C-alpha cells in the first residue's frame, strides 16, 4: 500500500493552524471511571487566542496497542488503580512477546511486509485494560433484543466468508470507514491523529482511511434523524478544560460492536492531562444493545517529527480485497 505525505488543505477557517509537536514520553497512570486521570485535575492547558483550551497537535495511540478492551479474567486486580507498576511492566513484556511471535519474519522473507510499516512494537501501555466503567472492567451484557439481532452484512476479511461480492467485506476492508470509535482504536500502523481548532470548531483528522470530523461547538441542534453518515453527526462543547463530543445519526454498518445505529449515542471526552498527553474516553449509550452505558479510555501521546499523518492511499491499490475474492473463486473451482 502506498503512503505519501499528507497535503492538508482544510477549510479557510483552519488554514492558519500550526501543528505543535513535542517529543513524546511513555504514558503512565490508570483511568478513573469518568475517563480522566488523577493528573487531569492538576494540569491546566494553555489557551487559544479566542480563549478555548488548546488541544491542538498531532497525537498517536501507538503506546496503547495490545491493551485488551476488558479486564482479563486471570488478573487479580479488580480495578485499574489496583494494578501495580510491577504487574503492568509484566503485562507490557508479555504483550510485546506476543507481537514479536506473531510476526517473526517481518522484512526478512521475500514478499514479507517491511518493518517500517509496523508502528506498534515496544508499546509502553498506560494501563492493564481499557474499560473504566463499569468499575469491574467488563462490557455490560447485551439486551435480549441485541442477542436476537442478526449480524450486519459485511464483517471481516479474516472470517470464513462467504466472499461473493464486495458487500461481504467490512467498510474498513473496502477503504470506506472505520467509524467512531473504531477510528480511535490503535492498529499496527497509521495511528496518527491531527487535532486543529478554530473559533467555534474542532477538527480531528485520522491517518487511517484519511477521514476527518469537523465538530461544531456553537450549540446547534443535530441534523435530522433521516441524515446518517459513517462517522455520525457530532456536536461539541467545553466542560472546563475537557472537550466533550456527542455523536448520533450513525449509518448502519459503522455502529460500534453491532449497536443499533438509530439509538447509539457516543459521548467522547478529550482532556489534556500533561503537556504531551490527552486522555480520550468514550461512553457508549444504546439501551437497545447494552443493559447500561459503558466507557473505555486510553492515552494519546503528542508526537514528534516522526509521528505525522501520512496519506492513506487505500483505494489506489486495494489489492487485498480483489485477491480475496479471486481466492474464493479459485477455491470453489477446486472443489
Which of 201-205, 211-215, 275-279, 322-326 is the least confident region?
A: 322-326
Residue with the bigger pLDDT between 330 and 161: it is 330
DSSP calls for 64-124: GTT--SS--TT---SSGGG--HHHHHHHHHHHHHHHHHH-TTTTTSTTPPPGGG---TT--
Residue 252 lies in a domain: yes
Residue 23 lies in a domain: no
Residue 242 lies in a domain: yes
Residue 16 lies in a domain: no
Asked if the model's pLDDT at residue 64 lies above 70, the reply is yes
Taking only the tens place, the pLDDT of each residue in 225-274 is 999 999 999 999 999 999 999 999 999 888 999 999 999 999 999 999 99
Which residue in the block uniquely carries the three cell numbers 461480492?
A: 165
> What pLDDT sits at residue 14?
34
Query: Cis peptide before 181, with omega less than 30 degrees from 0?
Result: yes
Residue 299 CA: distances (Å) to CA of 47, 65, 95, 160: 21, 11, 17, 34
Residue with the bigger pLDDT between 169 and 83: it is 83
Domain span at residue 109? 3-11+28-334
Task: Give this prediction's pTM.
Answer: 0.82
Counting the structural domains of the chain, the total is 1
Asked if the model's pLDDT at residue 141 lies above 80, the reply is yes
Mean pLDDT of 56-80: 93
Residue with the bigger pLDDT between 56 and 113: it is 56
Residues constituting the chain: 335
> What whole-number percentage of the chain has pLDDT above 90?
56
Residue 19 lies in a domain: no
> What pLDDT sits at residue 150?
80
Residue 324 lies in a domain: yes
Residue 224 lies in a domain: yes
> What pLDDT sits at residue 159?
64
> What pLDDT sits at residue 120?
79
Residue 128 lies in a domain: yes
Cα–Cα distance for residue pair 281/180, rounded to 1 Å: 12
**CA-CA-CA-CA torsion for 299, 302, 306, 309, nearest 10 degrees?**
80
Amino acid at each position: 500500500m502506498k503512503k505519501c505525505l499528507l497535503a492538508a488543505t482544510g477549510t479557510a477557517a483552519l488554514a492558519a493552524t500550526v501543528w505543535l509537536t513535542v517529543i513524546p514520553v511513555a504514558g503512565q497512570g490508570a483511568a478513573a471511571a469518568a475517563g480522566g486521570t488523577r493528573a487531569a485535575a492538576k494540569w491546566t492547558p494553555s489557551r487559544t487566542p479566542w480563549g478555548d483550551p488548546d488541544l491542538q497537535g498531532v497525537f498517536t495511540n501507538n503506546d496503547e496497542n495490545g491493551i485488551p478492551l476488558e479486564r482479563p479474567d486471570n488478573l487479580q486486580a479488580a480495578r485499574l488503580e489496583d494494578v501495580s507498576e510491577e504487574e503492568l511492566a509484566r503485562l507490557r513484556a508479555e504483550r510485546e512477546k506476543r507481537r514479536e511471535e506473531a510476526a517473526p519474519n517481518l522484512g526478512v522473507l521475500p514478499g514479507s511486509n517491511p518493518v517500517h510499516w509496523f508502528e506498534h512494537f515496544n508499546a509502553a501501555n498506560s494501563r492493564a485494560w481499557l474499560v473504566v466503567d463499569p468499575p469491574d472492567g467488563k462490557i455490560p451484557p447485551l439486551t435480549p433484543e441485541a442477542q436476537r439481532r442478526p449480524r450486519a452484512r459485511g464483517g471481516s476479511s479474516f472470517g470464513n466468508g462467504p466472499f461473493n461480492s464486495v458487500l461481504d467485506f467490512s467498510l474498513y476492508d473496502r477503504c470506506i470507514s472505520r467509524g467512531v470509535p473504531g477510528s480511535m482504536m490503535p492498529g499496527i500502523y497509521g495511528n496518527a491523529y491531527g487535532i486543529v481548532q478554530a473559533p467555534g470548531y474542532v477538527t480531528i483528522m485520522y491517518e487511517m482511511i484519511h477521514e476527518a470530523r469537523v465538530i461544531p461547538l456553537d450549540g446547534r441542534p443535530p441534523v435530522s434523524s433521516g441524515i446518517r453518515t459513517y462517522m455520525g453527526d457530532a456536536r461539541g462543547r467545553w466542560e472546563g478544560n475537557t472537550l466533550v463530543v456527542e455523536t448520533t445519526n450513525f449509518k448502519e454498518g459503522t455502529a460500534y460492536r453491532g449497536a443499533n445505529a438509530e439509538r447509539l449515542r457516543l459521548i467522547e471526552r478529550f482532556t489534556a492531562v500533561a503537556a504531551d498527553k490527552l486522555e480520550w474516553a468514550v461512553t457508549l449509550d444504546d439501551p437497545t444493545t447494552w443493559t447500561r452505558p459503558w466507557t473505555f479510555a486510553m492515552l494519546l501521546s503528542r508526537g514528534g517529527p516522526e509521528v505525522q499523518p501520512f496519506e492513506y492511499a487505500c483505494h489506489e491499490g486495494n489489492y487485498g480485497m480483489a485477491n480475496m475474492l479471486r481466492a474464493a473463486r479459485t477455491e470453489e473451482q477446486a472443489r
